[in-house]
Structure 1
């Protein structure tokens, strides 16, 4: 099985002067969940090269067994430092695609024409498309085969407004994932803040937050069998 991971290239947290990027757990949890099942994983970003890590995801309270494994995994770190350029990736080579979150995708993947086309291609081929936490931002302008927003009428989840409020970034982000999914006609639901919550509707798989990342990966794996 071949799965494509699409990570953000964006590292600026709005106008705050702080850094952002992808959330380590949302990469590491799914990466090892799938790798340990023998899945071949390719990493890509809009710009290629090094994918930026959100510094907040490297604080002590954000660590998990998966992030600790990543910190000791030179091969995985090298892969993060040398991602493929998204425009050079062919959807036909992969059985599924997965987007880790972090705040970065709100700025680049939400509006990236190559990413939008890629998701639409995977969807048209009925291949699993998975997103966790802020990564559903990448679905903002994606259309389904009927020309309507891909999430319209689909059960979806993603980082909640209350979780965004808790991290004090409501006034920093360009849009709120929960609001966007609802505005695009998604049937949005959520679990308790910071709890594991993931949904599958057809080939679309979404997870609410970092705690949901491994669950999304397991659902992607099951959907490709």
Structure 2
């Protein structure tokens, strides 16, 4: 079974629900920044979708041994796709995202390049540094809102909501390391959960959520 013969596997490798969330975050960021809906928003939303899809597929292509333990239902562990196919999807989606970002201006192009660097860097190295990888996910989530604010021409108004969302998702990522301990330990991946244990992991996650709530109160 290959991705080419079973196109629905593409959506699984891309984690389409997550990629769709990134696309919607761009529009929400624009709306909060005062923009009205127009068909012109479709292109930057597609860029965000493709960026997220590229990062997710690249992660799946690199994480087969870990997913075999932590997430055996994903396409590669269950034999529905190969790591090479996942990486090809990642490179293709990333290249298309960059191509579509070029006509949107310098800010969109640079943001797309930064997003690709963080997404690929996360999988290759950054996530193996306790807390840094979790912070990168939070930054990327906040960037989606910030991108919408940039396109709406009102970045300052979106900074607080973006930071709030980033802290929430950063805390969520910290919590997820608790679930991933078996596969991470078996493959020598250092995370806050494998290094500091569950109690300190929960403390850090709680601090992230608390900071997010504080910012939310300030914004509201």
Q: What range describes the TM-score normalised by the shorter chain of this pair? A: 0.3 to 0.5
Work out which of the two has the higher radius of gyration on C-alpha atoms and give 1 or 2.
2
More helix by share: 2
More strand by share: 1
TM-score norm. by structure 2 comes to 0.33
